[in-house]
Amino acid sequence: MSTTEEKLAKSLTAESTELIPYLPYLLQDLWELGSSPKDILELIRKHVQVSKKTRVLDLACGKGAVSVHLARELGCRVKGMDMIPEFIEFAKGKVREFGVEVRCEFVVGDITEFVKTEKDYDIVILGAVGDVLGNPEETVTQLRNTVKQGGYIIIDDAYGNEKSSVIYPTREQWLGVFEKTGVKLVAEKIIDEDELASVNNEQQEWIVKRVRELKDKLPEKAPLFDSYIRSQQAECDELENEISGVTMLLQVD
Ligand X SMILES: C[S@@+](CC[C@H](N)C(=O)[O-])C[C@H]1O[C@@H](n2cnc3c(N)ncnc32)[C@H](O)[C@@H]1O
Assess 227 for contact with ligand X (CB under 6 A): no
Distance CA 84, CA 73 (A): 25
The residue within the footprint of ligand X, chosen from 83, 104, 154, 252 (CB under 6 A), is 83
Q: Are 59 and 35 in contact (CB under 8 A)?
A: no
* 87 within 8 A of 63, measured Cβ to Cβ: yes
Q: Per CB under 6 A, does 68 bind ligand X?
A: no
Q: CB count, 10 Å around CB of 222? A: 13
Residue 112 interacts with ligand X (CB under 6 A)?
yes
Closest by CA position to 98, among listed 37, 29, 34, 24: 37
Q: Is 129 in the site for ligand X (CB under 6 A)?
A: yes
Contact pick of 19, 57, 78, 84 for ligand X (by CB under 6 A): 84
Q: Smallest gap, in angstroms, from Cβ of residue 123 to ligand X?
A: 14
What pairs with residue 126 in β-bridges? 59, 155
With binding defined as CB under 6 A, does residue 100 bind ligand X? no
Applying CB under 6 A, which of residues 56, 62, 78, 189 lies at the interface with ligand X? 62
Tell me: does residue 118 bind ligand X (CB under 6 A): no
Torsion angle (degrees, nearest 10) of CA 29, 34, 35, 36: 40
Min CB(179)–ligand X separation in Å: 26
157 binds ligand X (CB under 6 A): no
Task: Give me the amino acid identity at 57.
Answer: L
| Cβ distance to ligand X smaller for residue 12 or 224 | 12
Does position 82 interact with ligand X (CB under 6 A)? The reply is yes
Which letter, b or e, does each residue of 231-251 get, where b requires 16 or more Cβ atoms within 10 Å of its Cβ?
bbeeebebbeeebbbbbbbbb
Does residue 32 belong to the site contacting ligand X (CB under 6 A)?
yes
| The binder of ligand X chosen from 60, 68, 183, 211 (CB under 6 A) | 60
Regarding beta strands 183-190 and 244-252, do their DSSP bridges make them parallel or antiparallel, or are they unpaired? antiparallel
CA distance 103 to 183: 28
d(CA 26, CA 23): 5
Closest residue to bound ligand X by CB: 62
Could you tell me how many residues of this chain bind ligand X (CB under 6 A)? 25
Q: Which residues bind ligand X (CB under 6 A)?
A: 4, 7-8, 11-12, 32-35, 60-62, 65-66, 82-84, 87, 110-112, 127-129, 132
